Amino acid sequence: MTVITSIADLRDLARKRIPRAIFDYADRGSYDEVTLRRNRADLEAIALRQRVAIDVSAQSLATTLAGQAATMPLGIAPTGLTGLFYRNGEIVGARAAEAFGIPFCLSTLSICSIEDVRAAVTRPFWFQVYLMRDREFNKALLARARAADCPAIVLTLDLQVQGVRRNDLKNGLAVPPHLTLRNAFEIAMRPAWALGVLFGKRRTFGNLEGRLEGARGLATLSQWIATQFDPTVNWKHVEWVRNQWPGKLILKGILDAEDARQACATGADAIVVSNHGGRQLDGAPSTIAALPQVVDAVDGRCEVLLDGGVQCGQDVLRALALGARGCLIGKSFLYGLAAMGGEGVTMALDLIRKELSVSLALTGCNDVRTVDRRILFRAA
């Protein structure tokens, strides 16, 4: 029996339990994966300041994220195709997050629809949207999010054109997965996964059903996405979303100080410092490297969250020290989901929670809301 002690252990188990094409979709990045590697390397390079002889018996990890109470400064990021990692994966993930007391964000490119997930939970979740060419469809998505009582919309801004994800092209990733000679063996060797997905609620994009005209002639997911997203998107369009949406607005994909100031000017409630998990602009800085200048540019006008490479409680603590309100996890969530379903998601969250609690104490702190740069080690 495998003993799970880290997100890396869940990743190893996930790789064995799902087809390569699905695993690579979560695990790999764009082009040469320079930014993907930076996300981890730059987090690991930040040293924490160990403190001793301080009373750390009154630990508190509780906070708020975009106005929502959270048991720790962590949420589950929007991830496409989640229902292909595990049967009804979006529902499984939303339930695990609800039980844990943290936000869950559903992707527009989910397998289960927004209505499917809302019917399965008692606590409303965040919903992620893109600005697509069809603005009427955007209006319809926002209306569905309001009907589902979503307290926040996460507007993803860094996918107006798609970076080339070479492994997706090589693997022929498509939705629903096509049975070909290339992937037949992968699927045959994973009957539990195949049967689960086969008998799930849906096997294609639940939120986009009826909107996939012309998609049948496209060989891969990447090709389909390239036909949908709008390269003309600008800040006026973001303001249009702000005017359409009465709840919290979170803008995801901010890496630059100037963009952070523009985001605040649109009336955003929060921004997510994100490079799309190293899956868009290869050669961009890591999110943790970009975080300080974004925090300075925002200057308290809205909350700052971070995603990209977060795999342990120490990573969350580093982000808090540099000014983030909290973090979102995508890959780490999907590893847990693919490895063990809802139990794996809960295990991933619990691993990060325990690591955060221990690390908080060993830096001499009791409350995540008071963490700042003083916990970082500065060499003489």
Q: Which residues are catalytic?
A: 276
Give strand pairing partners of 132: 229
DSSP state of 31: T
| 17 Ramachandran zone, left/alpha/beta (phi>0; psi -120 to 50) | alpha
Nearest of 213, 15, 145, 71 to residue 7 by alpha carbon: 15
Q: Are 336 and 347 in contact (CB under 8 A)?
A: yes
Torsion of CA 58, 62, 64, 68, to 10 degrees: -140
The whole-angstrom distance between residue 167's C-alpha and the CA centroid of its chain comes to 20
Q: What gap in Å lies between CA 190 and CA 360, rounded to an integer? A: 40
Q: How far apart are CA 87 and CA 186, in angstroms?
A: 17
Neighbouring residues of 44: CB distance < 8 A, sequence distance ≥ 6: none
CA–CA distance from 266 to each of 151, 153, 336 (Å)? 18, 14, 36
Q: What's 177's DSSP letter? A: P
> What stretch of H or E contains 126?
strand 126-129
